[in-house]
Amino acid sequence: MRILLLGSGGREHALAWKINQSVWANPLYIAPGNPGTARCGKNVSLDITDFDAIKKFCVSEKIEMIVVGPEEPLVKGLYDYFKADEELEKIYFIGPSKKGAQLEGSKAFAKAFMQRHGIPTAAYREFDASNFEEGVHYVKEHSLPVVLKADGLAAGKGVVICQTSVEAVSEFELMIQNEKFGEASRKVVVEEFLDGIELSVFVITDGKNYLLLPEAKDYKRIGEGDKGLNTGGMGAVSPVPFATPGFMYKVEERIIKPTIGGLNKEAIDYKGFLFFGLISVKGEPYVIEYNCRMGDPETEVVMPRLETDLVGLLVAATQQELDTVKLRVDERSAVTVMVVSRGYPSAYEKGFEVTGLDKSDDKDSFIFQAGTKEEDGKVVTNGGRVLCVTAYGRNIEDASEKSLDILDQIDFEGIYYRTDIGYEFKSTLLGNR
């Protein structure tokens, strides 16, 4: 099967690595990819939001399946573009329709969807310029802390948790009146703060059936002990010790089944990955958000734990036959540690040579590249998040130590990573569920 994968991050390297293991993937193209994905297939230089260029490539290379890594092309309607074109409509498309992608593309859409289907989530109201004054009043009276969310895509920066009413009102005004996050914050969701511990749950769905992938927990803050600025993600672990069978039963019954049932009832085309950002409040799961694709860096621990052939699963999803497939999951723990450039998530430099990449690939650990590029035969840094190292272990502690051992051999100017990924699960028996 001739496959095109869109994206260029660590997530796409992990997906390309997994797809490339399938006997069905031949050839695999990655657009635009990175030096890591080039080892799993052929990189092609394409702008992933230039739909006409994607079409041209798919037609000329006779692509049979397209897998979309990041959210942007999905929210912009790439699925609908394919389905409306007679040269493209038969291509197996992994990713939701524009409507389905609204689960991520509009926080207000997602909240209303959850409300329609009785899915547990924080209580909320939505506001824009038309009910701005009412919004100010609502925000002022709201219990603290209060959560303000820009409705649209804001590259992970559109959520502000306010500790005082004064801060909340001023933030609310900035978002709506000054378009702090551009068009994305013309509408704002104001919601109740939930106090708990977060985790990420993923499914592959065909719009009717779903398969539960291994769950993961990611670490968003730049500093050890979850201190400092928010980032795209500094590491992840899987499995998550508190995601016990009892907890996951609640997640499936109260959240996943009503979500897939809702997609089906509302006739929303959705064949692909669906990410549930959850929070456990005293053992009860609530949805913080949906994403219409896999997470990064969670994919870098989820794919290594998936034993089943991914291409087979994806074909079954496009045929709405996921009820005929079973997943096999590696029992071991997996930990990934993200390596970033000094200064990230604020300003950082690029172009430093990365050394030690060749030494470490073995069957128990992998280097997934993210912000890298090739220059004169060398791999150099090309982004804030540069690469991550995933390792398996008997438990989280063991996997994390292996990751860090491999990281000892990798170097570039300004290298930084957290050494405490999975810290709250170390030295506990729970680590080996």
Residues of this chain that interact with Mg ion (CB under 5 A) are: 277
191 binds, among ligand ADP, Mg ion, none (CB under 5 to 8 A by kind): ligand ADP
Distance of closest approach, residue 371 Cβ to ligand ADP, in angstroms: 19
Q: Are 12 and 300 in contact (CB under 8 A)?
A: no
Task: Report the residue number, 196 or 277, with the smaller CB distance to Mg ion.
Answer: 277
Residues contacting 168, CB < 8 A, separation 6+: 139, 140, 142, 144, 146, 148, 162
- Min dist CB 159 to ligand ADP, Å, is 4
Question: Which of 120/277 has CB closer to Mg ion?
Answer: 277
Q: Give the dihedral of Cα atoms 168, 172, 178, 184; nearest 10 deg.
A: 120
Q: Which is nearer to ligand ADP, 162 or 322 (CB)?
A: 162
The least distance separating ligand ADP from the CB of residue 118, rounded to whole angstroms, comes to 18
Neighbours of 23 (CB within 10 A): 9
* Cβ closest to ligand ADP, residue 77 vs residue 277: 277
Residue (30 or 160) nearer to ligand ADP, CB: 160
The interface partner of residue 263, options being Mg ion, ligand ADP, none and the CB cut-off 5 to 8 Å by kind, is: none
Shortest Cβ distance from residue 330 to Mg ion (Å)?
26
The whole-angstrom separation of Cα 399 and Cα 395 is 6
Q: Give which of Mg ion, ligand ADP, none residue 194 binds (C-beta under 5 to 8 Å, depending on kind).
A: ligand ADP
Our CB check for ligand ADP shows the closer of 168 and 288 to be 288
- Which of Mg ion, ligand ADP, none interacts with 327 (beta carbon under 5 to 8 A by kind)? none
Shortest Å distance, C-beta 365 to Mg ion? 27
Token couple for 306: 């998936």
148 binds, among ligand ADP, Mg ion, none (CB under 5 to 8 A by kind): none
CB of 213 to Mg ion, least distance (A): 17
Q: In whole angstroms, how close is the CB of 2 to ligand ADP at the nearest point?
A: 33
* Residues 6+ away with beta carbon under 8 Å from 310: 15, 18, 19, 21, 22, 303
Beta bridge partners of 171: none
Name the residue nearer to Mg ion (CB basis): 162 or 315: 162
CB of 153 to ligand ADP, least distance (A): 8
Question: Are the beta carbons of 127 and 135 closer than 8 angstroms?
Answer: yes
Please report, as ranges, the residues that interact with ligand ADP according to CB under 6 A.
Answer: 122, 147, 149, 156, 158-159, 191, 193-194, 198, 277, 288-289
Burial status of residue 265 (CB atoms within 10 A of its CB: 0-12, 13-18, 19 or more): exposed
CB of 20 to ligand ADP, least distance (A): 29
Q: Pick from Mg ion, ligand ADP, none: which does 193 bind, CB < 5 to 8 A by kind?
A: ligand ADP
The residues, ordered by sequence, that sit 6+ positions from 107 with a Cβ below 8 Å of its Cβ are 149, 150, 151, 152, 189, 289
| Three-point CA angle 397, 400, 402, nearest 5° | 110
Measured from the CB atom, is 288 or 335 closer to ligand ADP? 288
Q: Which does 64 bind (CB under 5 to 8 A by kind): Mg ion, ligand ADP, none?
A: none
Nearer to Mg ion, 296 or 398 (CB): 296
Backbone dihedral angles phi then psi of residue 325, each to the nearest 5 degrees = -115, 150
Query: Can you state the angle between helices 10-20 and 310-318, rounded to 10 degrees?
Result: 100
Nearer to ligand ADP, 17 or 219 (CB): 219
Least distance in Å: CB of 369 to ligand ADP?
Answer: 23
Give the CB-nearest residue to ligand ADP.
Answer: 289
DSSP 8-state secondary structure symbol assigned to residue 253: I
C-alpha of 59 from chain center: 29
Place of tokens 């569920």: 433
Q: From Mg ion, ligand ADP, none, which one binds at residue 122 (CB under 5 to 8 Å depending on kind)?
A: ligand ADP
The closest of 219, 225, 211 to 297, measured between CA atoms, is 219
CA 103 to chain centroid, in Å, comes to 13
> What are the C-alpha distances in Å from 22 to residues 10, 40, 204, 314, 324?
19, 11, 17, 11, 19
